Structure 1
Amino acid sequence: MKYGKMKIVLLLLAALFLGFAGAYTGVKLANQGESTIDQSANKGTTEKVDEQAATTPKDMQKVVQAYTLIKQNYLKDVDDKQLIEGAIQGMLTTLEDPFSSYMDAESMKDFNEQIEAEFEGIGAEVSMVEGKVTIVAPIKDSPAEKAGLRPNDQVLSVDGKSLEGLDLNEAVAKIRGEKGSEVVLEVKRAAASEPFDVTIVRDTIPVETVYNDLKTVNGKQTGILEVTNFSEHTAEEFTEQLDSLEKKGIEGLVIDVRGNPGGLLNVVEDMLKLFIPEDMPYLQIEDQNGDKTPYYSQLKEKKEYPITVLVDEGSASASEILAVAMKEAGYDVVGQTSFGKGTVQQAVPLGDGSTIKLTFYKWLSPKGNWINEKGVEPTIEKKQPDYYYSNPIQIDDPFGFDQSDEKIGNIQKMLSGLDYEPGREDGYFSKETVKAVKEFQQKNDIKVTGEVDKKTAGLLETKIVEKIRNGEDDVQLDTALKALYK
């Protein structure tokens, strides 16, 4: 191997080990996958490579020796890029941090699309949790949401091919695809004893992130702002829609970040500046030395009207920054404990279109609390009705009278959620359950048998998903609205 090539490898590895010590400016990021920081953030990094190489750990020579050994002696030809990218991947894997990763030029291109106007895929934010590709949250109105995917669902395989051993970016590349193409995900859900398959047709995923509504509660005009992601233009959309609601004379506000997997940190900062007054920080950032930097708004006083925030287990990262800041400012948080991601990543370009996304900081609440792996606990805990948590029905042979099975209990939960009366929900197919199934079949113009075959099961699932997506029986929202005027 020529000395020049060996030196390049050595300097690259030295930069990876030591090149993050300096302060980086640019955009601070806080979700499962982040945008690149400003190119100016890397200024000085390459200039320091030679200096850093001089202080490269002695054992780093082992990496060069391994590279040389493989290039000169391995049975087959190996591409230089393959070896170098493998070394980078290996170093990041040893960090055991699901949010630090290497993205080649193609992966980076795909990622950048996700914070722009639209992209193609199934529409779900994923993370690596204990080595498993895990749904953080499906995007509103996406194929993933319509198919019934939920926070904490684990994706085990894609089109019959296991994701075991793949990193997050490799797994995402298999899940994503062109609009109109079909993908089959094998999913493991905590509430289900066995994995099940979900077939999804990929589509264009528009990144529309703020939705507003106006309701009358106790005679008071009440605004609802649902934020589905903290993307590039979310703060602008949020401010415009909040202004519009305030001009209509709202007397209370609900901010809904359920199922919101996070996004750009500077965006949620801009939003918090609208609500958290200057006498307390809206956020603190802690670096690797334990030094904490508080961030303040210039807001003189809180809004005149009451506010509640809605969260669930799919609320992550930037959503949690918003929720915990509002909670510590004295507002109610309603729902279920959030995901629990308290770190900040920056994406550092390597000069060839590839990027290393590395955890740089912890983010802390205004009072200095770290919610990582714990989540934000609501001040008012509220679960949705049981049918919101029902599972897809996987059956080979029809279920009928006098049978007992865990899957029958799931069917009974669905029937009850659709206002039929199965009589029980313990998994025993009773006479009352037969009657409920017949009523469902008759109402939906399918053969009336009183048994649940694949067609009946599929229609049950479809009706449940439709009811959930229509917001029926949304007791969490109802609770948040009532909490405004308690």
Structure 2
Amino acid sequence: MANKQKWLAGAGALVLAFGAGGLMFSGGDEVTEEEMRELASSVENSEEQSGSEGQSSEATEAEEEIEADLTKVAQAFEMIQQNYIDDVEDEKLIEGAIEGMVNELDDPFSDYMDAETAEEFIESLDAQFEGIGAEVSMENGYVTIMSPFNDSPAEDAGLQPNDRIIEIDGEPIEDETLNEAVMKIRGEKGSVVTLTIDRPGTEDTFDVDVERDEIPIETVESETYERNGETVGVLTLNSFSQDTAAHFEEHLDELESEGIQGLVVDVRGNPGGYLNSVEDIGDLIIPGGEPVVQIEDPMGQTMQHISNLEEDKDYPMAAVTNEGSASASEILAAAMMESGGHDVVGESSFGKGTVQQSLDLGDGSELKLSLFRWLTADGNDINEEGVTPTVEVEQPSYFTLPALQVDETFAEDDHDEQIRIAQEILTVLNYDPERTDGYLDGETSAQLEAFQSEQGLSENGELDDETATALHQNILDEVRDPANDAQLQKALELVSE
């Protein structure tokens, strides 16, 4: 970090990483000073080529207008200081003015960070942290889940991309900023936060209790599968940190030493990270001489990162994406598709195609502004569109079931949404309640009793907290079983044909 400016092209959102370690921000993809000098040079050259005396005069007039506007701001500040009925803190007035300007941009990825928040942002980019393990952004005025981390408390609790957080511990947050909402969710490991969720496609809101925990960030994981007589390697990327490319190379070398005959790169639920990280990974798998990504400045000038891979890979590949794949994940998936000619399997990605720079304001606080766009290898702008997979595959419907959380015991003739969820889970687990409308009839009770017997629970045919916990754990096991992962299974099939 010391030798780099902080240029951000990642999700630009807040990560719910709360507790003793404080608040973690999603940094996003970082562009090095050398790359930024090239971009700055291209902008300066274009300005020099189009410069004129008339434009210089217009610039002077614009500067005078800005100076007049700032004078008005200063006057308002002094008037409030001298005349307002109550005492006000100067620092809060200044920070409020800055936040007001940033809010006026109506850009969810531009943000003002006070000194404390900025420090935590920098320190947490590659750190292990305590929290619920989910990334959020402000979407259409709602604090929205972008993606829960793999095996995190957020994922265990059933939070999903596009879930809107309506209340935190019973308090509405519609008038709060993203920072304010995040500060309410923060807490120590082992403590519980209750989030009221509005999920697209679900009629009613529901509460989700999430127990905060320590969130270790393993940015790269690998494993092998046997498919059609061939060994296929799977590299799962959870984020793009500073050392992710090095770990990726280590895992890839190990897989190749095992003689893999195909490779799947899984970036589902990956919110992004450092730009130079995904560029370096591109150098490892994208054919040499082909573009990995393009960065476009406000003047329309672009800079390409070209893969320097010396020897192209001789095995088929595929990428896997979902709606939680953002920014750097989209860069890699698009490069594999457009420059590598490989399939992308799954669902359309998030659609985050802007680049932010974090600017130091001199007192430790920082202003994060969208200054550039990134384009795919072929020059396509995917912002708010996402990368469309070449092979669209949806996961089984039970992958998106709300978390089962029971605060009271339900018996025969009760009717509740939690009973409906339990009936859905029982069906997936090969029990047959014969209905999924939330009414606990005799057959549902009998199937609950059969499940309780199998699990060694009290056989009462009721939906109590103990039974709900067991049902929830069983459905989580089904979701995490690779055999049930339709997207992964399709990718494995494609690279082993």
TM-score (norm 1): 0.86
**Which secondary structure state, in structure 1, belongs to the residue aligned with residue 484 of structure 2?**
coil
1:183 aligns with 2:193: yes
Q: CA contact under 8 A between 1:256 and 1:311: conserved in structure 2? A: yes
Distance 2:250 2:426 in 1: 42
User: Counterpart of 1:273 in 2: which secondary structure?
Assistant: helix
Partner of 2:423: 412
- 1:123-134 to structure 2, matched below 5 A, reads 123-134=133-144
88-97 or 69-78, which deviates more? 69-78
Task: Indicate yes or no: 2:286 matched with 1:276.
Answer: yes
Contact between 2:31 and 2:274, CA under 8 Å: does it hold in 1? no
Taking the aligned partners of 2:481 and 2:125, their CA distance within structure 1 comes to 26
Query: What amino acid sits opposite 1:29 in the alignment?
Result: A
Aligned partners of 1:230 and 1:273: how far apart in 2?
A: 14
Structure 1 spans left out of the alignment, 5+ residues: 1-23, 45-49
Write out aligned runs for 1:106-125 (5 A): 106-125=116-135
Decide whether the 8 Å contact of 1:192 with 1:391 is kept in 2: no
- Mean Cα displacement is larger for which, 300-309 or 222-231? 300-309
Q: Secondary structure at the match of 2:285?
A: coil
Q: Give the structure 2 partner of residue 362 of structure 1.
A: 373
Q: Which amino acid aligns with 2:9?
A: L
**Letter aligned with residue 460 of structure 1:** L
Residue of structure 1 equivalent to 2:390? 379
Residue 491 of structure 2 corresponds to which residue in structure 1?
480
- Corresponding letter in the other structure for 1:457: A
Deviation at 1:392, TM superposition (A): 2.3
Q: Which of 432, 442, 456 is matched with 1:421 structurally?
A: 432
Partner of 1:263: 273
Match of 2:334 among 324, 334, 348: 324
1:82 alignment partner AA? K
The more displaced of 467-476 and 231-240 is 467-476
Residue of 296, 308, 326 corresponding to 2:306: 296
Q: Show CA shifts across 1:320-342 (max 9, x none).
A: 11111111131111111111111
Q: CA deviation at 1:196?
A: 2.2
Could you tell me how far apart the structure 1 residues matched to 2:338 and 2:415 are?
48
Task: Classify 1:164/1:391 alpha carbon distance in 2 versus 1 (closer, same or farther; 3 Å).
Answer: same
For 1:34, give the aligned amino acid. G
Query: Distance between the aligned counterparts of 1:39 and 1:295, measured in 2?
Result: 14
Distance in 2, matches of 1:472 and 1:280, equals: 35
| Segment drifting more, 428-437 vs 238-247 | 428-437
Between 1:346-355 and 1:104-113, the stretch displaced more is: 104-113
Establish whether residue 149 from structure 1 lines up as the match of residue 159 from structure 2. Answer: yes
SS at match of 2:78: helix
Contact residue 10 and residue 271 of structure 2 kept, 8 A: no
Question: Which one-letter code corresponds to 2:162 in the other structure?
Answer: N
The answer as to whether partners of 2:189 and 2:214 remain within 8 angstroms in 1 is yes
The equivalent of 1:31 in structure 2 is 11
Contact between 2:288 and 2:312, CA under 8 Å: does it hold in 1? Answer: no
The 8 Å contact of residues 113 and 119 in structure 1, kept in 2 or not, is answered as no
Distance in 2, Cα, partners of 1:39 & 1:365: 21
Partner-residue secondary structure (3-state), 2:94: helix
Question: Residues 454 and 182 (structure 1 numbering): CA distance in 2 closer, same or farther, change over 3 Å?
Answer: closer
**Which structure has more RCO (C-alpha within 8 Å, separation ≥ 6)?**
2
How many angstroms apart in 2 are the aligned matches of 1:125 and 1:114?
13
Query: Which residue of structure 2 lines up, in the alignment, with residue 95 of structure 1?
Result: 105
Deviation string for 1:31-76 (max 9, x for gaps)?
223278889989x9xxxxx999756253333322221111111111
Q: Tell me how far 1:176 sits from its aligned partner.
A: 2.5
Q: Map Cα deviations across residues 409-444 of structure 1 (whole Å, 9 max, x no partner).
A: 432221122222223445555654333222112222
- Letter matched to residue 340 of structure 1: G
The superposition leaves residues 171-225 of structure 1 with CA deviations (integer Å, 9 ceiling, x where unpaired) of: 2222223323332222222243222222222222222210110111111111111
CA distance in 1 between counterparts of 2:31 and 2:303 reads 19
3-state secondary structure, aligned to 2:73: helix
Contact 1:34/1:345 (<8 A) preserved: no
Task: Please report the TM-score for the alignment, with normalisation by the length of structure 2.
Answer: 0.85
Find the counterpart in structure 1 of residue 49 from structure 2: none
Residue 269 of structure 1 and its aligned partner are, at CA, apart by: 1.0
Cross-structure match for 1:469 = 480
CA displacement at 1:272 relative to structure 2 = 1.0
Corresponding residue number in structure 1 for 2:15: none
User: Does 1:61 pair with 2:71?
Assistant: yes
CA distance in 1, matches of 2:137, 2:76: 32
User: Which residue identity lines up with residue 228 of structure 1 in the other structure?
Assistant: N
The question of whether the paired residues in 1 share the 8 Å contact of 2:134 and 2:154 is answered with: yes
Residue of structure 2 equivalent to 1:253: 263
Which AA in structure 1 matches 2:125? I
Whether 1:138 and 2:138 are equivalent positions in the alignment is: no
Q: Is the 8 A contact 2:7 2:356 kept in 1?
A: no
Partner of 1:460: 471
- What number of residue pairs does the alignment pair up? 457
- The alignment status of 1:173 with 2:176, answered yes or no, reads no
SS for the counterpart of 1:348 is strand
Residue identity over aligned pairs, in percent, reads 48
The structure 2 residue matched to 1:193, chosen from 200, 203, 222, is 203
**1:237 counterpart SS class:** helix
The answer on whether the counterparts of 1:37 and 1:347 sit within 8 Å (CA) in structure 2 is no
Counterpart of 1:13 in structure 2 is none
Give the match for residue 242 of structure 1. Answer: 252
Give the alignment of 1:331-370 within 5 angstroms: 331-370=342-381
Report the counterpart of residue 216 of structure 1 in structure 2: 226
SS in structure 1 of the partner of residue 254 of structure 2: helix
Alignment-derived partner of residue 87 in structure 2: 77
For 1:353, what is the secondary structure of its paired residue?
A: coil
Aligned Cα RMSD in Å? 2.8
